[in-house]
C-alpha cells in the first residue's frame, strides 16, 4: 500500500485557478485545493483527498493524483498547459457555417492521436445550403477512417439526440468546437441538468463566480456512467509534446506514405525520393493537409525560448 492509499478517491469535475471541485463516489461535490504550491490537476483526474481540518466547512486537500490513462494539452500565447485527462473519446464539432479552420481541426486530431484518444467528427447545421461544401472539405478525414456524424442540433434536436446518445453512452467524452458551431446547444440538448450542474460547481466553490469560463464535467445520466466534458472556446492544441520527426505518425494520411521515402530521416519537405511528396503530387494526400504538416513541423523545430 503506497502513501495516501487509505484516502478517498474523487473525480475532478472543474478547476478554477488553484481551486478544484472534486466529486465523491456518492456524488457530493466539494472545493479542494492541492497540497503545496504546484497545482497540476485537470478535469477528469482521479485524486486522493482528505478533509482540510475540522473547521474546513466541507473543503478538502488534494494529496495525490492517481496515474492517468491519457492527457491533453492546450496552448496559449505563452505556454502549454494540460487541461483534461482520462478521456475515452474526443468529439470535434465543426459546422456548415461558420467555415471551420482545417488547421485547428488537424491540430486537435494530432493531439488526440498522440494521446491515443479516439476522435469522432461531428458536422453540425447540415440543414444549411453550405453543408455540401463542408462535407467536401471533410472528405479527406473520412477517407483517413475518422468516424463522422452529421447533425442539425437546432433544426432537428430529437433526431440529433438519437444519433448522439449511443456514441456517448458509458464513456467520458470531451466536446470541442469553435464558437458558433453549436457546442452549447449540444451540451444543453444532451444534459438537461447542465445549468443545475454549473450551479453545483458554484456552490461547491462557495461563490457566485461565473463558472462557465473553464473546463467542466457534466453527467448525462443519474447513474453517472456517461460524462461530457466541455472546454470553452476551441483550444489551440499544444503540440510541444510531439517530436517533429514523429509528426507524420500522428497524421494517418501522411503515415501511410512516410515509410516509402528513400531516406529514413526524411522530413518530407525537400528530400528527393520522398513518398509523402509523391503522394501529394498523385492526389493521395490533400494539398491543405500537406501545407498544415509543413506549418506544424516548422513550429516544432523552432527553438523554444
Which residues fall in the annotated binding site for GTP?
A: 124-127, 177-185
**SS3 per residue for 76-102:** CCCCEEEEEECCCEEEEEEECCCCCCH
CB neighbour class for 228 (10 Å; exposed up to 12, middle 13-18, buried from 19):
buried
Residue ranges of the annotated binding site for Zn(2+) are 261, 266, 268, 274
Q: What cell numbers appear for 181 in the block? A: 458551431
* Helices 131-143 and 102-114, packing angle to 10 deg: 30
Q: What values do phi and psi take at 251, rounded to 5?
A: -120, 100
* Contacts of 204 by beta carbon, 8 Å cutoff, 6+ apart: 21, 29, 30, 31
How far is residue 26's CA from residue 229's CA, in Å, rounded to a whole number?
Answer: 20
* Contacts of 226 by beta carbon, 8 Å cutoff, 6+ apart: 168, 169, 170, 171, 219, 220
Q: Are strands 227-230 and 172-176 parallel, antiparallel or unpaired?
A: parallel
Among 301, 300, 157, 169, CA closest to 238: 300
Element (H, E) at 35: none
Residue ranges of the annotated binding site are 124-127, 177-185, 261, 266, 268, 274
| Helix runs in 52-208, H state only | 102-114, 131-143, 157-168, 183-190, 194-204
Amino acid at each position: 500500500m503506497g502513501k495516501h492509499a487509505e484516502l478517498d478517491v474523487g473525480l475532478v469535475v472543474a478547476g478554477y485557478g488553484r481551486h478544484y471541485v472534486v466529486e465523491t463516489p456518492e456524488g457530493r461535490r466539494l472545493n479542494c485545493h492541492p497540497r503545496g504550491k504546484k497545482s497540476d490537476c485537470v478535469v477528469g483526474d482521479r485524486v486522493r483527498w482528505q478533509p482540510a481540518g475540522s473547521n474546513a466547512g466541507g473543503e478538502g486537500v488534494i494529496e495525490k493524483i492517481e496515474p492517468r490513462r491519457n492527457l491533453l494539452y492546450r496552448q496559449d500565447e505563452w505556454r502549454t498547459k494540460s487541461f483534461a485527462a482520462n478521456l475515452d473519446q474526443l468529439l470535434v464539432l465543426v459546422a456548415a457555417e461558420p467555415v471551420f479552420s482545417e488547421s485547428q481541426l488537424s491540430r486537435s486530431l494530432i493531439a488526440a492521436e498522440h494521446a491515443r484518444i479516439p476522435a469522432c467528427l461531428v458536422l453540425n447545421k447540415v440543414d444549411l445550403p453550405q453543408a455540401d461544401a463542408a462535407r467536401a472539405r471533410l472528405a479527406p478525414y473520412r477517407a483517413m477512417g475518422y468516424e463522422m456524424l452529421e447533425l442539425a442540433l437546432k433544426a432537428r434536436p430529437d433526431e440529433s439526440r438519437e444519433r448522439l446518445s449511443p456514441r456517448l453512452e458509458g464513456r467520458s467524452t470531451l466536446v470541442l468546437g469553435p464558437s458558433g458551431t453549436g457546442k452549447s446547444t449540444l451540451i444543453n440538448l444532451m444534459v438537461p441538468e447542465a445549468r443545475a450542474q454549473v450551479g453545483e460547481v458554484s456552490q461547491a466553490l462557495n461563490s457566485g463566480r461565473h463558472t462557465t469560463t473553464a473546463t467542466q464535467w457534466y453527467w448525462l445520466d443519474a447513474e453517472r456512467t456517461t460524462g461530457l466534458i466541455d472546454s470553452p472556446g476551441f483550444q489551440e492544441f499544444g503540440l510541444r509534446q510531439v517530436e517533429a520527426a514523429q509528426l507524420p505518425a500522428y497524421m494517418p494520411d501522411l503515415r501511410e506514405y512516410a515509410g516509402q521515402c528513400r531516406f529514413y530521416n526524411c522530413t518530407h519537405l525537400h528530400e528527393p525520393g520522398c513518398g509523402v511528396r509523391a503522394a501529394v503530387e498523385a492526389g493521395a494526400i490533400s494539398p491543405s493537409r500537406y501545407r498544415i504538416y509543413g506549418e506544424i513541423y516548422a513550429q516544432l523545430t523552432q527553438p523554444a525560448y
